[in-house]
A and B are shown apart, each in its own frame.
Chain A
C-alpha cells in the first residue's frame, strides 16, 4: 500500500513538474465550456441542470484522456527508466495502479475545477445538486475507463504518438458502439440480442443515465470492470514486452 502511495505521489507531481497537467486542465476547461454554452445551448434550454455539460464528456474524453495517458508507460520505455522501476522492490501491478490513480486524480482535479459552471447554474436557478454530484461522479468513473484503455495502449509502445492514436481508435469503438449510426447499421439485419450486446458495450449507453444523475449498479460495475480489465491487459503487456 505504501509503495502505491509513494509511486502515486511521484507520478502525480511529474504531471505538474512539466506543463502537461496545466495544459490539459486549461484545455479541458475551455473545451467543456465551449461545448456547454455554444454547442449544448446551456442558456437557450432554460433548464437549471448541467446536462449539456455532461453530455459532451464522452466526446471530450475521447481525445483528451488518451493525451494524458499516452506518456505513462511509453516514456518509461523510451527513456529506459522502466528498467529502473522494474528492478525496484515493487510489483508491476503496484506501478500500474499508481500510474492510473495519478492520472485519474488529474482528471478528477480538472472536473472539480469546472465548479464555476455549478455556481452559475445555482445562481440562475434551483438545480437538484444531488443529481449534479452524481453526474460528476459518473463522469469521473467513465474517465477512469477511458484512462485504462490509454494506459494499456501506452504499455504497448515506446512511441507516444502511436499510443495516442491507438487509444483514440479503441476508445472511439467503445464510444460509438452505442450511437445511433452504429446501431442503425445493425438494426436492419441483426436480432435484437446482438443490438443489445453491441449497445451494452458502449460508454454512451452507460453514461446516459449517469449524466442524468442516476447511478445504477450495472453502470457502475460496467465502468469498474472495463477499467480493471484494461489495466490487467496493460499489466500483461508490460510483463511480456518490458525489454523491447
Chain B
C-alpha cells in the first residue's frame, strides 16, 4: 500500500508538486494524467525514492521512504521516463546486471531473465548493443528491467511512448495480465490508455490532484456521456428529435450529416430516439451511444486550474 500525505516539492522556487495526498491499495492500476509539467514525473520520482520531497510523508507498506529507502526500493519496479539503459551493454548483459543487483543468482536468475524476455518479446535482440536498438525495443528493455523481480509495486513513466500500435497493445495486455494484488502506476498522455488498462484515474495539474476516481466516473463527467449520435444518409427533417422527452439539447452538423442528442441528467434516450426514427422513417444509417469524450473532460478539468492560476 502506498500512502502519501501532504507532499510538496519545489525546485528553486518552482512549485512542482503542491500538497498531494492519496492512498493506493494493492489491485489498483492507477493512471496518472496531466498536462506536460504537471508534476507527474516528479511525483513518480519521489515515490521511487529518487527525489526527496521538500516536505510531506511517503509510506509504502507502512515503511517510511525516508528511513527504509533500501527496503522499499527492493519492492518497486520502475521504468523512468525515456527508458534509460546502459547503451554499451546488450539487453542480456543489462538484464543480467539488474537481476544480480536485485539479488538473484544461478538458475533462479536465468529463469527470471528468461521469463521477462518472453514477456516483452526481446528474444531477437538479446545480443545486440542497446544503443543500436529501435525505440520500441529500448522501451521494452526498460520494461523488462522493471519487471525482473516481479515487484509488488510497478511504476511506469510513459511506458508506451514511442511504440507502434501493435507494441502499445502488447504492453497494455502485459499490464492487464499482471497479478491482481499488485500496485501499478502509469503516467501517460494517451487518454484511451487509461480506460484500456486502469481502474483508477488521477489527474494532476500544476502539482495539484484534481480528479481521483474510476475511468468510468471520468467518462460520466463528459457532456457526451450517454448522448446519442445519429448519421443520416440524406437530409431529413430532424427538428422533432430535439423535442423528444428526456433530450436536453441537440447539436446538428450539417456538413457531416450527424446529429447528436444530449440527454437530461439521468435520462435514457436511446429507445425514444430509435422509436422516433422508425415512426418517422428517418434515413438513419448509423446510430451509437457516446461513451463520453475524455479529451474534452481532460481539457475542462486541467484548464480550470491553469486559467485560475493565471488570474
A residues neighboring B (CB under 8 Å): 3, 6-7, 10, 13-14, 17-18, 79-81, 83-84, 86-91, 242-243
Contact = CB atoms under 8 A, between A and B. Distances in A.
A3 B74 CA distance: 13
B77 to A, nearest CB: 9
Contacts of B84: 79-81, 83-84
Interface string B51-82: 10000000000000000001001101010111
Given A6-B97, A90-B101, A91-B70, A79 B87 contact: yes
5 contacts: A6-B101, A79-B86, A80-B80, A242-B50, A242-B51
B82 A80 contact: yes
A111 B82 CA distance: 39
Contact of B74 (A10, A13, A89): A89
Contact of B100 (A6, A17, A91, A243): A6
Contacts of B283: none
A86 B45 CA distance: 10
A89 B80 contact: no
Contacts of B48: 87
B217 to A, nearest CB: 32
Given A242-B50, A243-B51, A10 B86 contact: yes
A10 B90 CA distance: 12
Contact of A17 (B78, B82, B88, B102): B88
A243 B88 CA distance: 23
Chain B, interface SS category: loop
Contacts of A83: 45, 50, 78, 80, 84
A6 B78 CA distance: 20
B145 interface: yes
Interface string B190-207: 000000000000000000
Nearest to A78: B84
A16 to B, nearest CB: 9
Given A7-B101, A80-B81, A87 B50 contact: yes
Contacts of B85: 81, 84
Nearest to B145: A84
A3 B97 CA distance: 10
Contacts of A3: 101
B98 A88 contact: yes
B49 interface: yes
B89 interface: yes
Nearest to A6: B100
Contacts of A18: 88
Interface in B155-214: none
A14 B81 contact: no
Contact of B49 (A7, A79, A87): A87
B226 to A, nearest CB: 43
B212 to A, nearest CB: 25
Nearest to B47: A87
Contacts of B49: 86-87
A67 B108 CA distance: 39
B277 to A, nearest CB: 56
Given A6-B101, A83-B45, A89-B101, 10 more contacts: A6-B97, A10-B86, A17-B88, A81-B86, A84-B84, A87-B48, A87-B50, A88-B102, A89-B73, A91-B70
A80 B45 CA distance: 12
Contacts of B82: 80
B88 A14 contact: yes
A15 to B, nearest CB: 9
Contacts of B76: 87
Nearest to A88: B101
Contacts of A13: 93
A126 B290 CA distance: 94
Contacts of A88: 73, 98, 101-102
Interface in B74-122: 74, 76, 78, 80-82, 84-89, 93, 97-98, 100-103
A84 B146 CA distance: 10
Nearest to B81: A80
